[in-house]
Amino acid sequence: MTRTFPDLVDVAIVGSGPCGAAYARILSERCPSATVATFEVGPLLADPPGVHVKNIVDPAARAQAQRLSEGPAPQRDDTPTDTLEGYVDTAPRLVRPGTFLLAAGYQQPGEDGLPSVAMSSNVGGMGAHWTGACPRPGGSERITFLPDLEELLDEGGRLLAVDAHAFDDAPFADEVRKRLSAAFDDGRDDDRRVAPMPLAVVRHDDGRVTWSGADVVFGQATRSNPNFTLVPQALASEVVIDGDRATGVRVRDLRTGDEHVVRARFIVVAADALRTPQLLWASGVRPRALGRYLNDQPQTVFAVRLRDVAHVSEEQVDSRTAPEIVPQSGVSWVPYTDEEPFHGQVMQLDASPVPLADDDVPAPGSIVGLGWFCAKDLQESDRVEFDDTGSDPYGMPAMRIHYRLTERDRASIEASRAAIRRAGEALGDPLDDEPLTFAPGTSLHYQGTVRMGETDDGASVCSPTSRVWGVDGLYVAGNGVIPTAIACNPTLTSVALAVAGARDIATRLDGS
């Protein structure tokens, strides 16, 4: 099979996760005559490009897709395909199927580090492996200098096909929310009360439920756009800069080793919160805030059995072993507030990954996993640094993480542990004595490294429309752009910010 690297495009996008896909989609809708090329270091997993691996029904094919996403360090062939299997795991460096850990540099002496910091390299990025929770930020999570944030979040929801009611009929979901409401809602604003979790899933007419990956974000508008090209296994190694302008991207074809310079009027780097600053660094774009204000959401988990719900006979239990999402999979949300600065995701695990006694058959939906995520106390000194001499397995500048939990972080982790216990007690009987707080990095939600700011004041990398300060034509995208300390799952917010950036490019293309 031959493939062609274009010489010149209007827009070059690096990375095919949900944020890179959002740029391709908005540009395909608004400027269908513009030429757009996406370069992705990882391989294509399945059709349509960017599909969520859990929509791949055949277990062997699903496992193969996960291994292909694990970059330079794939896991063993017999690794379980279910993300939740082994979830309550005390391993100091927890790795999820479809992701790979940063092999070195994740912790410096005397610091907390990010031992579980991970990435995915595949068409669709982490969006081919995610859990699809799409809550909206609230209180100080919100970006105050974006007056149109609500409309952008709506648009992000359209691109991800977010649905808050896909599981309204999940067994006991109402009961779960009633019990959580009684424990948490008092004194909260309406939008901060316990609610069904908005999820990026599609419930089809035949009852099937599928997860939204980057395929849904690309949408038909991108797939049918003759001016759009997606090139997998293509590493962007440098953004070419001429004076104060980005003029193209240097790309290495990983199949042949050949290098190509693709000239472009606009370049969008959507290569995750670690590799976006890495590519800017490699290109000599090194503003003071690059890689700084790195933040991850300290995460605590707990599991309970719902109290006072009917048990069932063994025959009534859904015996699926595949990690498909099904109508039983109710997910509830305890939103972030400034008073309780953490966010709760409560999942009914119908095919329970939590070991139970053999003779104990839970009613579907009665085993509940709770995950609480804290907002980090932001520090400029928390950062990913890059090495001009050492390199990572892709030949890009090696990363070194500096990361510390502050006293305030330790206090909010303790408070979140108390809150998750309170939630557990409201729901039923805990399956473990104590909640488990994971090592930093486990949340897979890394933010801040190319953060947005209202002005170029040295504490930000890009403008409110994601233009990199001082380099015309260069945009950044992904969770790294989020400037606030958010505790909620970040993807809806980062896709919303990508929408604003893509509209900005569309306006500039229209005006030229």
| Known active-site residue 445 | yes
Type of residue found at 283: S
User: What's the min distance (Å) between Cβ of 40 and ligand FAD?
Assistant: 5
User: What's the min distance (Å) between Cβ of 408 and ligand FAD?
Assistant: 24
Name beta bridge partners: 100: 119
User: What's the min distance (Å) between Cβ of 135 and ligand FAD?
Assistant: 8
Look up tokens 């379980």; give the residue: 80
Q: 96 vs 177, which CB is nearer to ligand FAD? A: 96
Q: Is the dihedral of CA 138, 143, 147, 153 positive or negative?
A: negative
Q: Is the dihedral of CA 116, 121, 122, 125 positive or negative?
A: positive
Question: Cα(131)–Cα(25) distance, rounded to whole angstroms?
Answer: 22
Q: 279 vs 325, which CB is nearer to ligand FAD? A: 279
Q: 37 vs 176, which CB is nearer to ligand FAD? A: 37
Q: 291 vs 362, which CB is nearer to ligand FAD? A: 291
User: What's the min distance (Å) between Cβ of 140 and ligand FAD?
Assistant: 18
Type of residue found at 323: P
Contacts of 57 (CB under 8 A, 6+ apart): 322, 324
Interface with ligand FAD (CB under 6 A): 14-20, 39-42, 83, 96, 98-99, 120-122, 125-127, 129-133, 235-236, 270-272, 275, 279, 444-445, 478-479, 489-491, 494
Residue 481 DSSP code: G
Question: Cα(329)–Cα(202) distance, rounded to whole angstroms?
Answer: 13
Type of residue found at 103: A
Name beta bridge partners: 60: none
| Phi and psi torsions of 154, nearest 5° | -60, -45
Q: How far apart are the first and last CA of the chain?
A: 36
User: What's the min distance (Å) between Cβ of 196 and ligand FAD?
Assistant: 14
User: What's the min distance (Å) between Cβ of 133 and ligand FAD?
Assistant: 3
CA atoms in the 13 A half-sphere facing the CB of 404: 10
Q: Is the dihedral of CA 297, 302, 308, 313 positive or negative?
A: positive
Tell me which residues are annotated as active site: 445
